[in-house]
Amino acid sequence: MNLQPYLFFDGKCEEALDFYKKAVGAEPKMLMRFNQAPDQSMISPGSENKVMHAQVQIGDTTVLMSDGRCTGNTNFQGFALTLTAKSETEADKTFNALADGGKVTMPMAKTFFSPRFGTLTDKFGVGWMVLVAQ
């Protein structure tokens, strides 16, 4: 069994992909646009070039992404994506890159369970936790 997060960016998927490429080294492995769907009758006008489905590699994890219904109303609540860095330097660099344009909810700091841990919401509304394993 394999669990994969699927994130819907409601029209900002391409922008999110570019951001995650720079911030966390995301590598798109597959990208399909709505104009490639065999049945175009369900495609909203103006969304033809939006991302229907993308498979993205972040570290050892595959994350699935889409523009979804292209409403512009993302709603990422009740979960956070967690990145475990190999070093404090890597954790700080990753945290700062993800925080660019977003909101830090807990700055990177030493905790009882990690030498570096912090939380943030990125500029797309996705919650992140970044830590170094003990």
Give CA–CA dist 61/2, Å, rounded: 10
Q: Mean pLDDT, to the nearest integer, of 57-84?
A: 93
- Is the fold of 6-66 the same as that of 81-132? yes
CB 33 within 8 A of CB 52: yes
Give the model's pLDDT for residue 28: 97
Percent of the chain's residues with pLDDT above 90 = 84
Q: With cut-offs at 50, 70 and 90, classify the pLDDT of residue 131.
A: very high
Mean pLDDT of 99-111: 98
pLDDT per residue over 14-65, tens digit each? 999 999 999 999 999 999 999 998 888 878 888 899 999 999 999 999 999 9
Please name the fold of domain 6-66: 3.30.720
Q: Is 88 exposed, middle or buried (0-12, 13-18, 19+ CB in 10 A)?
A: middle
CATH annotation of 81-132: 3.30.720.110
Q: What is the pLDDT of residue 57?
A: 97
Domain ranges within the chain, ordered by starting residue: 6-66, 81-132
Residue 97 has pLDDT above 90, yes or no: yes
- The confidence score (pLDDT) of residue 39 equals 86
Contact present, 76 and 17 (Cβ < 8 Å): no
Confidence of residue 129 (pLDDT cuts 50, 70, 90): very high
Q: Answer whether residue 134 shows pLDDT above 90.
A: no
Q: How many CA atoms lie within 13 A of 125 on its CB side?
A: 13
Averaged pLDDT for residues 94-104: 98
- 73 has a pLDDT exceeding 90: no
